[in-house]
Each structure stands twice: as structure tokens, then as C-alpha cells.
Amino acid sequence: MTWRYEIERNPDIRFGFYLRPSYPISRAQTMMHDLLHRQFGLVAGGKFMPHATIKGFFRSDATLASIVAACDRATAGVAAIPIENHGVMAFGRGGLALNVNEDAHGNRNEPLYRFHCRVWDEVEPLIHPDCTFSPREGKREQFFAHLTLAMADIPDFAFEEIQEFVRQAEPLGEPRFLAEYFHLYAFHSDDWGGEWWHTLEWKILQAWKLPESPTGTAKQQRDTCLA
């Protein structure tokens, strides 16, 4: 895709900070997106890159350098996080995802939860007061880590069929992976107040790799993209 939008102080831009899954998980996620599009016409989930949300869409008038600096602070001193893939789950009748919220014992993945809270602590002061997504986002105690397979455009009459169809593909991806790469993105849509996914475009702005040891420092993987 060709990016043609100004990023800084643009009311039509949203930012987001995401976990980049392992190759096997990313491949499984994108293959399911493609299959659900071809079989059922679903498009919303596949509009994104493979990811698990740490901080979802947010509007900000802060400089890009300030947003990157906030992510630098959030990642500082944090070690790569083991992730367990607990398989397909439903979010009501509106979404299907891979559950990566719990550890191997079925408890909340505390390192991932604490990292999510660190990111929110750093980013929240930069969120525009008119941001419509952040107030209704699952955050802090409501945070639930997942990898979206389908969302927003599942027809209610077909939900059971689509859920059964997806479950027939299990296991999707590998049973566990290490969350070490995290990305900052910019997003543009022509209709943030409506069905935004139809015109969603995105651009990767910065990447961080968490070290294996918490004494290390997250390494920025590339120069910040300002345009």
C-alpha cells in the first residue's frame, strides 16, 4: 500500500502498539483471514497485520518522537514474554480469536499484563481528549490478550457455522512462542465513526525487540518513519 498521509497532528490518524507474533502464528492467522474472506466474505480481521493488541487505536496530537519515547520507556528493562496459545475462542457473537491471555496453568499471563499496563501508563498522557476508541478499549483489569481471526463483520446468522469452520482448523499455529517483537503503527480510515475497516490503511513506524534478560534494553529495530 502507498502511504500518502501526514502523521503528526492529523485528526484522521490513529496510533497503536502491538505484539508481533512468531512466524508460525502469523502465518496461521493470515491464512485464516484469507480463508474467511474467500469463504464468507469477511474482511475486517484481515485488514490488519498479524498482531496481539497491547494498546489499540488512539488519537494523539503529540509528536511522533514523543510517542516513540513513551514506547521506549515502556519497553525499558522488560524481558521477552513467554506466550501460550490456548486456541480458538469467541468474543460474544462478534469475534473469533486465539486466546493468548493465560499462562500454561490457565492463569492470567502476569508478565504480559504488567507490560500492557506499562504501555498504557506511558501512552495515556498523550491520548487526545476526543479519542473515541481508548475509552471503550479493554484495558488494565479488562485487558484480554488475543490474536483476532474475525471481528466486526461476522453475520449473526452465520456465527455458529463460521465458529465451527474455524475450529476445524485447530490447532492454529504453534502451542507457545516468545513475545519479543513489538511494533508501533499509524492507521488511517475515511470513517472512524462508522465501518472504519473498509478503508483502513496502516504504516509501521517503529519496532522494538525485547531482550531475553530483563537487565537488557529493548532495541529499536529501525529508524522512525516520519512520513
119-148 pLDDT per residue, tens? 999 999 999 999 999 999 999 999 999 999
Distance of CA 132 to the CA centre of its chain: 17
Decide yes or no: CATH 1.10.8.60 for domain 13-220.
no
pLDDT interval class at 216 (50, 70, 90): low
The count of other CB atoms within 10 Å of the CB of residue 103 is: 17
Predicted local confidence at residue 213, as pLDDT: 74
* Over residues 150-163, mean pLDDT: 96
Backbone angles phi, psi at 118, to 5 degrees: -60, -45
pLDDT interval class at 1 (50, 70, 90): low
Predicted local confidence at residue 2, as pLDDT: 78
Cell of 187: 492507521
Sequence ranges of the domains in the chain? 13-220
In the predicted model, is pLDDT for residue 34 greater than 90? yes
Percent of the chain with pLDDT over 70: 93
